[in-house]
Structure 1
Amino acid sequence: MKKTVIIHRILTGLLIIFFGLGSIPDILKVSDAVALFKHLSLPTYLLPFLGTAKLLGCITLLLPNYPRLKEWVYAGLTFDLTGATFCGLSSGDSPLTVAPMLIGFALIAGSYIYYHKRRAGLAAISGHAMGH
């Protein structure tokens, strides 16, 4: 169980860094983020919305409990990254340009899998403690 907790915390920490650091330029509408959105033919008014959603998702992953909300966060981050990958490829970017997105997908999947392993372990422990 201890190994599962450590792996979950590492993967989730890296996931939070990946999306959390990416959300700040979006929220602040930094010129590089605006230029990227223009390159992707996306409206720049979406930047602060998407950045805020990513940052709130990262904060949610840090909170104890709230399993349903965390499921929504994992789904939302997956949709965000899938949309970004699709937009990059659709705008003519090289597949090598969007290859780093695979890191994000791996972090989402790893954190999600170990989140559920951790919850299952906690449920088993509490079940044994209750005499089940």
Structure 2
Amino acid sequence: MKKINIIYWISNGLLMALMLSSAIPGVMGTADSQAFVVTHLHYPTYFGALLGAAKILGVIALIIPGYPTIKEWAYAGFAFDLMFALSSFIPVGDPFKGWAPFIVFFALFIISYTYYRKRITAKAAGIS
């Protein structure tokens, strides 16, 4: 169980840092993030703030103990975010090096979610 917890918390910490680092500029409405969302990706101006707020709520859901259903929803939201981000970069003509990091981010997400499920299973089996 110790190995599961270590891998879970490291991958989860990195995932939360990734989500927060992309959420904060959107919520704050920085000029760079607004220009990127509106000009480059062709989304409406409010989209960055809305998505950023959802990411912050998802991170909070992963941090607080308990509430397994809300954690599942947060993981689902992060999965959608990563998939839709990838599908937003490819059509605007970004080269592979521009969207390749999302493959790594998605792998990090899969590790975090897999070890979240392993922790739940181990706790249910009474392994500590």
Q: TM-score range by the shorter chain?
A: over 0.9
Residue ranges of structure 1 left out of the alignment (5+ in a row): 127-132
Residues 75-113 of structure 1: CA distance to partner in whole angstroms, max 9, x if unpaired?
111111111111110111112200011121011100100
Match of 1:80 in 2: 81
> What is the aligned length?
126
Aligned-residue offset at 1:74: 0.8
Which stretches of structure 1, 4 residues or more, deviate above 4 A after TM superposition? Answer: none
User: Secondary structure in 2 aligned to 1:91?
Assistant: coil
Range moving further from structure 2, 95-104 or 47-56: 95-104
Identity in percent:
43
Quote the Cα distance in structure 2 between the aligned partners of 1:107 and 1:66: 22
Match for residue 49 of structure 2? Answer: 48
From the CA coordinates, give the structure whose radius of gyration is larger: 1
SS at match of 1:68: helix
Distance 1:104 1:81 in 2: 8
Aligned to 1:106: 107
Which residues in structure 2 correspond to 1:1-132 (within 5 Å)?
1-37=1-37, 38-125=39-126
Over residues 59-85 of structure 1, what are the superposed CA-to-partner deviations in whole Å (9 max), with x where a residue is unaligned? 110111111111111111111111111
Normalised by the length of structure 1, the TM-score is: 0.92
Gaps of 5+ in 2: none
Structure 2 CA distance for aligned equivalents of residues 15 and 123 of structure 1: 25
Looking at structure 2, the residues matched to 56 and 111 of structure 1 have their Cα atoms a distance apart, in angstroms, of 17
| Structure 1 residue identity aligned to 2:82 | L
SS of the equivalent of 1:125 reads coil
The alignment partner of 2:126 has SS state of helix
Cα-to-partner distance string for 1:25-75 (whole Å, 9 max, x where unaligned) = 000111111121121111111111100000110111011111111111111
